[in-house]
């Protein structure tokens, strides 16, 4: 990693190929990271499967699933400090493990973002209709609203990162407030004796009390999904004030905030619904519970929370995908068109529109040729992509900092042991998910004799491998890149060079 000096004219050219610097604060970055996990949407979508599998062990499962997330967040922390590139996993894995693994890591992130979009759009459409008093909305209404949500969130991402950050603050604020109110009212009713529930017990925090190995695995896969998204803050690192430090801190803090919020809501839900947990089989859970806790009128607030959460997640799913495509295109891993920066809004204009268009196309394909079960399986398939690119990021941290491991105990632990443990857990979950979904009975639908999530997840990675081979022919320079290793002196020089560029851009503006 060598520092470079950039002249004034070069800085102007650099400006046209870079995102807007210092556009958002550390707080905005943190909000984007938490909002990307879509707490209300994730809980509404995941609690039925989590409660059915884990029962009273739900809080313990959420804590256990948080551990590898925190370990991978530590990897993000170190890698972002060395290289605040908006391509995150793609850029870091390319440096540490080489261009082929880097390409597959970047593609896995892109594919995962697209796979989850139909579920988000469908939830947005359904809950908008529920909010309007339509209990059984028609296909056309739900689909039209879902497409409109994708279009609206794509437009916000296209118009600028500041608008995106402001939107996230408003949506997340409403979402978190409603979830906290729900948890507080539920627990107060339990402890006051006005509800037929049970007080919090220490045994609930033991994840290994879950009944069977199959239930434990199912619960862990779902729990990993509800944490996914905190890394979006790192994808807007180039646009954040203090890009080396702020996104790195936000990555770790956002995971801590998420586990706190999830624990509060899950403990309240388990305590309030205690009498029905043992017989629960996986139908809708959060919405009926909210009606019991808050009443039918105030319970509508939870519908609003899920709706705003789905909207927020739709937007923040677009952000990392397009910035990964931008980073890949800059170095020739994707066609150069994806590196285009809008001259006014300083956003990845073409990549943003392409991401929105592909997401709409995938959503329409699924809803027109299938049913809600296949939509759910498309979302479930994200577990494969999440585990894959998070695992690669953990390995990249270990390898990139390999010369630092023996320079002290703290280095050994935080550059080596912690990210390595996170990577191992993620790859173990990836393998377990493949085995689990190879059995069609473990999915809502079957394709070619396998569970649809396996076909979607592995199929997406296979498409990436084919695209990689094609890009190897048309853009061979990228694939000749050599692996790199962390160089403290090089990082210092690079940081100074980036600072010069930013100052020259400010002066030009």
The answer, yes or no, to whether residue 259 has pLDDT greater than 80, is yes
Beta bridge partners of 450: 447
- For residues 97 and 183, the model is more confident at 97
Which string of b and e fits 255-270 if b means at least 16 CB within 10 Å?
bebbbebbbbbbbbbb
How many helices (H) and strands (E) are present in the chain, helices listed first? Answer: 21, 2
- In the chain, what's the furthest Cα-to-Cα distance? 72
The predicted structure's pLDDT at residue 374: 72
Domain ranges of the chain: 8-508
Helix ranges, 331-451 (H): 349-369, 372-380, 382-400, 409-411, 418-438
pLDDT interval class at 269 (50, 70, 90): confident
The answer, yes or no, to whether residue 285 has pLDDT greater than 60, is yes
* pLDDT tens-digit map of 198-256: 888 898 899 888 877 778 888 888 888 789 888 888 888 888 888 888 888 988 999 99
pLDDT interval class at 377 (50, 70, 90): confident
Chain-centre distance of CA 91, in angstroms? 17
Residue with tokens 């002196």: 489
Find the helix or strand (DSSP H, E) in which 447 lies.
Answer: strand 446-447
* pLDDT tens-digit map of 306-352: 777 777 777 778 888 999 999 999 999 999 999 999 888 888 889 99
Q: pTM here?
A: 0.86
Chain-centre distance of CA 329, in angstroms? 21
The predicted structure's pLDDT at residue 208: 86
* pLDDT tens-digit map of 50-91: 887 888 888 999 999 999 999 999 999 999 999 999 899 999
Contacts (Cβ under 8 Å, ≥6 apart) of 431: none
Size of the chain, expressed as the number of residues it contains? 509
* pLDDT tens-digit map of 386-407: 999 999 999 999 999 999 999 9
Pairing of strands 446-447, 450-451: antiparallel
* pLDDT tens-digit map of 462-507: 999 999 999 999 999 999 999 999 988 755 444 444 444 444 444 5
- For residues 136 and 498, the model is more confident at 136
Q: Which among 35, 50, 98, 32 is positioned nearest to 478, based on CA atoms?
A: 98
Q: Which token pair is 385?
A: 């992509």
The predicted structure's pLDDT at residue 284: 58
Contact 88, 76 (CB under 8 A): yes
% of the chain at pLDDT higher than 70: 88
CA angle at 69 for the pair 445 and 79, rounded to the nearest 5°: 120
Q: Which among 227, 264, 311 is positioned nearest to 46, based on CA atoms?
A: 227
The answer, yes or no, to whether residue 303 has pLDDT greater than 50, is yes
CA angle at 453 for the pair 233 and 384, rounded to the nearest 5°: 40
pLDDT interval class at 275 (50, 70, 90): low
The answer, yes or no, to whether residue 117 has pLDDT greater than 50, is yes
- Write out the CATH class of domain 8-508: mainly alpha
pLDDT interval class at 440 (50, 70, 90): confident
């Amino acid at each position: 990693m060598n520092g470079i000096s950039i002249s004034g004219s070069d800085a102007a050219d650099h400006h046209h190929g870079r995102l807007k610097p210092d556009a958002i604060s550390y707080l905005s970055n943190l909000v984007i990271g938490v909002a990307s996990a879509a707490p209300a949407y994730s809980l509404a979508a995941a609690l039925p499967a989590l409660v059915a599998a884990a029962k009273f062990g739900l809080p313990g499962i959420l804590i256990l699933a948080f551990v590898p997330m925190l370990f991978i967040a530590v990897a993000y922390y170190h890698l972002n400090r060395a290289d605040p590139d908006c391509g995150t996993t793609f850029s870091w894995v390319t440096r540490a493990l080489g261009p082929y693994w880097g390409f597959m890591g970047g593609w896995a992130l892109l594919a995962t973002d697209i796979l989850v979009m139909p579920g988000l759009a469908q939830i947005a459409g359904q809950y908008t209709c529920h909010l309007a008093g339509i209990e059984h909305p028609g296909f056309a209404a739900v689909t039209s609203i879902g497409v409109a949500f994708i279009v609206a969130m794509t437009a916000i991402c296209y118009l600028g990162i500041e608008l995106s950050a402001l939107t996230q603050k408003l949506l997340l604020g409403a979402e978190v407030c409603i979830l906290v109110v729900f948890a507080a009212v539920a627990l107060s009713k339990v402890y006051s004796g006005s509800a037929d529930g049970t007080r919090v017990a220490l045994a609930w925090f033991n994840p290994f009390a879950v009944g069977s190995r199959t239930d434990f695995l199912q619960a862990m896969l779902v729990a990993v999904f509800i944490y996914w998204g905190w890394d979006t803050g790192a994808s807007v690192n180039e646009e954040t004030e203090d890009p080396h430090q702020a996104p790195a801190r936000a990555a770790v803090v956002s995971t801590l905030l998420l586990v706190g919020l999830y624990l509060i809501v899950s403990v309240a839900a388990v305590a309030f619904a205690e009498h029905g947990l043992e017989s629960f089989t996986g139908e809708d859970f959060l919405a009926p519970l909210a009606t019991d806790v808050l009443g039918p009128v105030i319970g509508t607030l939870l519908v609003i929370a899920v709706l705003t959460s789905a909207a927020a997640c739709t937007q923040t799913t677009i952000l990392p995908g397009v910035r990964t495509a931008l980073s890949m295109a800059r170095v020739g891993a994707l066609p150069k068109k994806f590196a285009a920066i809008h001259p006014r809004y300083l956003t990845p204009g073409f990549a943003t529109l392409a991401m929105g268009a592909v997401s709409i196309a995938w959503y329409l394909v699924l809803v027109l040729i299938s049913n809600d079960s296949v939509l759910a399986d498309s979302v479930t398939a994200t577990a494969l992509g999440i585990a894959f690119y998070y695992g690669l990021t953990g390995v990249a941290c270990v390898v990139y900092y390999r010369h630092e491991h023996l320079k002290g105990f703290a280095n050994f632990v935080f550059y080596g042991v912690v990210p390595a443990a996170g990577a191992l857990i993620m790859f173990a979950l990836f393998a377990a998910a493949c085995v689990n979904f190879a059995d069609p009975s473990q999915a809502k639908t079957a394709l070619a004799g396998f569970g649809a999530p396996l076909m979607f997840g592995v199929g997406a990675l296979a498409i990436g491998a084919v695209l990689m081979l094609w890009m190897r022919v048309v853009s061979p320079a990228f694939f000749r890149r050599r692996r790199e290793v962390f160089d403290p002196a090089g990082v210092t020089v690079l940081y100074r060079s980036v600072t010069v560029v930013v100052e020259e851009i400010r002066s030009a503006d």
